[in-house]
Amino acid sequence: MTRDAWEIQEIELGGGVVLRPLAPDDAEALADAYVRNRDHLRPWEPRRAPEFFTATGQVARVSDTLKSRDERRTFPWVFADGPLIVGILNLNDIVLGPFRNAHLGYWIDAGYTGRGLVSGAVRAVCSVAAESLGLHRVQAATILDNEPSQRVLRSCGFQEIGVARAYLHIDGEWRDHLLWEKILHDGPPR
């Protein structure tokens, strides 16, 4: 183990954007980000209740997520440009033991796409997962026609597992998803 991942302050991604761990006072900036990106995210996300787009709704969510982080079950990051939150990236469902797996999820603000930010962040987080979290593999799932997300994963060394039918309830329907995996190392559990 080279460094304690849970203590990382931030990772520079270029252009003034950093990836940093979610913080307790991020709720208001997150609500603003979800309001700004409501149309951008709609096709790729579950349907959201109205309070999701409010600071109050995000306070509850951030609190739940940080509790899960304290229990080492999730590693939540945000993309930040100064005071603005411009995206999120999460390692969810972290399991150790012989599985040593996490599920990866992410989105970036509509005004920040196409700059390599998510690809850079996924590469950095996979290194952290391998070197510091003791994980062996990371999984992801994309809707079949989400080409930008599939390009991110392919360029970061993920491989297709196959199609899972009616896998997640997204934008009002159960959607088939392409499942992806990245094997981080072939060594013994560490």
Smallest distance, ligand COA to C-beta of residue 1, A? 28
Instruction: Name which position in 80, 108, 125, 184 contacts ligand COA (CB under 6 A).
Output: 108
Do residues 140 and 147 touch, judged by C-beta distance below 8 A?
no
Smallest distance, ligand COA to C-beta of residue 94, A? 18
Do residues 29 and 59 touch, judged by C-beta distance below 8 A?
no
Instruction: Name which position in 92, 113, 127, 132 contacts ligand COA (CB under 6 A).
Output: 113
41 belongs to the binding site for ligand COA (CB under 6 A): yes
Site pattern 128..167 for ligand COA (x: CB under 6 A): --------------x---xxxx-xx--x------------
Instruction: Name which position in 44, 53, 59, 134 contacts ligand COA (CB under 6 A).
Output: 44
CA distances to 11, 30, 109, 161, 169 from 54, rounded to whole Å, are 28, 9, 17, 37, 22
Smallest distance, ligand COA to C-beta of residue 124, A? 12
CA distances to 19, 30, 36, 76, 172 from 84, rounded to whole Å, are 12, 8, 11, 16, 29
Residue with smaller CB distance to ligand COA, 75 or 106:
106
Smallest distance, ligand COA to C-beta of residue 38, A? 12
How far the first Cα of the chain sits from its last, in Å, is: 8
Q: How many CB atoms lie within 10 A of CB 31?
A: 22
14 belongs to the binding site for ligand COA (CB under 6 A): no
Do residues 61 and 5 touch, judged by C-beta distance below 8 A?
no
Residue whose C-alpha is closest to residue 44's, from 161, 145, 188, 170: 170
15 belongs to the binding site for ligand COA (CB under 6 A): no
Write out the residues near ligand COA by the rule CB under 6 A.
40-41, 44, 106-108, 113-119, 142, 146-149, 151-152, 155
